[in-house]
Structure 1
Amino acid sequence: MFLLRVYMAFDPRQLEILRPQLVRFAALQLRNDALAEDAVSETIIAVLEHPDRFQQQSSFKTYVIGILKHKLLDQLRRGKREVQLGNDEDDDRSDAEMFDALFTSSGHAMEAAPSWGNPDETLERKEFFDILQLCIDKLPPKTGRIFMMREWLELDTDAICKELDITAANAWVLLHRARTRLKECLQISWFGARA
């Protein structure tokens, strides 16, 4: 058992509030609910064992997510998980058809992208990240996973390809599809523009 310091720069109940989001993200990356729960538990224990490490240089959520990110990377590097990718051919086919519908035969976008206003102001709003998470959750599982591995875990293409046993070309196609679908979802759900 561990001792909690008398003074904490955060309310431990904040961890209860964050826990479902942490579990959802860990499960997306690890594809194993038990390992996801373990990673989140390790993260929460690390936060509670060393409350003095939270220096309030970022939000508490950002701090906790940073710890979870390292726990997930450690598990991915150790290879202590089961790969359950399944057969995503149907998802890939329908995803490709939806993606192709966004472009003309010459490869240009069907419509010009609308203005998204000031990106810095948008990123400061908590609601934006809630909508972004919903958009990520709507992606096909393999597409969402590869996007999060690249953008959130910051793995390079070689590491992603090795982890998912795919080619670099396949990885880039999936990343491009993920970004395009997220852009479309954000245009509709956040910026109010119809695609």
Structure 2
Amino acid sequence: MQTESNEAVTLKDRTLDPQSWVSKHADYLFSYALTRLNDEDMARDLVQETFLSALESANKFEGRSTERTWLTSILKFKVIDVYRKNSAGFTKRGDHDVDKEEDRDFFDAHDGHWNDQHRPKEFGIEQPDLLETKEFQKILQLCMKKLPILWLSVFTMKHMDEEATEIICRELKVSASNFWVIIHRTKVNLRSCLQKNWI
């Protein structure tokens, strides 16, 4: 059932209240998009698009989730669309295929273990509460901005959204082997960046 935009939309036991979306959910949705895209303007645009899409499909809201969860799921698909669009050219070029020369810089060719100069160091932030500090989060976001868009897309879908590997491969059109190469290289690059900028 859809009503005029200035009235709440009542479905089952849940109510949609579009008039309060900005005050109740905009900051949360913006933060969600920003941590996945590292682009403030795009995050703002996607939040606005999310609200518009939600208004257009309000009659599809079944009340099985909260209003925020429903809005977040709409935004999540919009973020995936951005990933797909931005990574399309990247996957066609094959820039993320395994590069053995680059891997030899980090790993011993004979046993696959870290080379001494690239062996991970202690971060000094092993206490879980320290991971939540604003300074660390700021540095992590700066390090993530340096990643190629496909790497960022794969990493955030896997480790922030906890998507299944098969879904990520299908949505971003990457093979399973390339997926693992991307995850590996992303972790190596993030660790290296954090060691340079945090320690």
TM-based fold match above 0.5:
yes
Instruction: Report deviation, 1:166.
Output: 1.7
Structure 2 distance, partners of 1:81, 1:186, is 24
Instruction: Report deviation, 1:152.
Output: 1.3
Secondary structure at the aligned position of 1:109 is classed as coil
Q: Percent identity?
A: 31
Alignment match, 2:104: 100
Alignment match, 1:126: 134
Structure 1 distance, partners of 2:162, 2:74, is 14
Instruction: Report deviation, 1:43.
Output: 5.9
Alignment match, 1:155: 163
* Counterpart check, 1:137 vs 2:141: no
Deviation per CA, 1:114-168: give whole Å up to 9, x if none. 2222241431311111111111111112111111111112111000111112211
| C-alpha RMSD of the superposition | 4.1
Q: How many residues align?
A: 160
Structure 1 distance, partners of 2:82, 2:155, is 21
Alignment match, 1:114: 121
Q: TM-score scaled to structure 2, two decimals?
A: 0.61
Unaligned runs of 5+ in 2: 1-5, 7-17, 55-67
Once the two structures are superposed, the pairs formed by residues 173-184 of structure 1 within 5 Å of their partners are: 173-184=181-192
Q: Which of the pair has more CA radius of gyration?
A: 2
Instruction: Report deviation, 1:68.
Output: 7.1
Aligned AA (2:115):
M
Aligned AA (1:104):
D
Alignment match, 2:63: none
* Counterpart check, 1:40 vs 2:47: yes
Unaligned runs of 5+ in 1: 47-63
Q: 1:23/1:124 Cα in 2 relative to 1: closer, same or farther (>3 Å)? A: closer
Aligned AA (2:114):
A
Alignment match, 1:170: 178
Q: Which moved more, 1:111-120 or 1:169-178?
A: 111-120
Q: 1:76/1:21 Cα in 2 relative to 1: closer, same or farther (>3 Å)? A: closer
Q: TM-score scaled to structure 1, two decimals?
A: 0.62
CA contact (8 A) 2:106 2:115 kept: yes
Secondary structure at the aligned position of 1:92 is classed as coil
Q: 1:157/1:148 Cα in 2 relative to 1: closer, same or farther (>3 Å)? A: same
